[in-house]
Amino acid sequence: MSLLLDADPVKIGLVSVSDRASAGVYEDKGLPALKEWLVRALRNPVHFEERLIPDEQAGISAALIELVDVAGCALVLTTGGTGPALRDVTPEATLAVAHKEMPGFGEQMRQISLRFVPTAILSRQVAVIRGQSLIMNLPGQPKAIAETLEGLKNADGSQAVPGIFAAVPYCIDLIGGPYLETDDAVCKAFRPKSAIRTAR
């Protein structure tokens, strides 16, 4: 991945939700997986705001509000806490701070995961808009994080199933955020021709 020197700088919030990882019982793998994929995929200069927090609805909502309203993140990605277990409350915490829901992201994540496991229908990931920021819940496993963001490729490298990140840059354009530029080899962003910025 090569940075574009004239690309818009972007601030991205990363939130890993886990009782045990936040208590130091085991090493968190969510934040490193999110960061590694984004560094490969984006050509913008990126500043990450990272949070590792327990499965507490009020605390998750507070972290999301702080990352958007105070830290000014254009994009916030969470990992963990999206299943049906009693302690899984990330979707509820996310919806509580939403100005608009974006259901297509969650639908596509489940479609991708269903290629691998029938239990993908148990996942409850949501995506929302808060102000000029996009907040998305991602799966908890590093492999699943990359698959849902990037999509699935055929043996020849062509796209078999689109990943959700292909739609993220244009979504952020529409809500007034920075112009995200991706490495096409990792994830080709889709924009209508009228929305593509010419080289500066």
Cα–Cα separations (whole angstroms), residue 123 to 109, 118, 150, 195: 9, 10, 18, 33
Domain membership flag for residue 200? no
Number of separate domains in the chain: 1
Q: What is the pLDDT of residue 160?
A: 87
Percent of the chain with pLDDT over 70: 96
Residue entry with tokens 């940075």: 3
Q: Where are the extended beta strands (E) located within 18-56?
A: 46-53
Q: What is the pLDDT of residue 5?
A: 59
Whole-prediction pTM value? 0.94
In CATH, what number is assigned to the domain containing residue 99?
Answer: 3.40.980.10
Over residues 130-146, the pLDDT tens digits come to 999 999 999 999 999 99
Domain membership flag for residue 91? yes
> 2: pLDDT confidence band, cut at 50, 70 and 90?
low
Strands 10-17 and 75-79: parallel
Residue entry with tokens 């507070």: 62
Q: What is the pLDDT of residue 158?
A: 83
Domain membership flag for residue 137? yes
Q: Which of 10-14, 66-70, 183-187 has the lowest mean pLDDT?
A: 183-187
Query: Which one, of 166, 161, 173, 81, lies nearest residue 134 by Cα?
Result: 173
Over residues 149-166, the pLDDT tens digits come to 999 988 888 888 889 999
Domain membership flag for residue 53? yes
Domain membership flag for residue 4? no
Query: Which one, of 123, 145, 127, 144, lies nearest residue 136 by Cα?
Result: 127
On the question of pLDDT at 118 being above 60, the answer is yes
| 8-state DSSP, 69 | I
Helix, strand, coil abundance in the chain, percent, nearest 5: 40, 20, 40
Q: What is the mean pLDDT of residues 19-47?
A: 94
Q: With beta carbons less than 8 A apart as the criterion, state whether 90 and 128 touch.
A: no
On the question of pLDDT at 19 being above 70, the answer is yes
| 8-state DSSP, 56 | -
Domain membership flag for residue 129? yes
On the question of pLDDT at 114 being above 80, the answer is yes
Q: Which domain holds residue 71?
A: 10-195
Domain membership flag for residue 1? no
Query: Which one, of 88, 86, 69, lies nearest residue 17 by Cα?
Result: 88
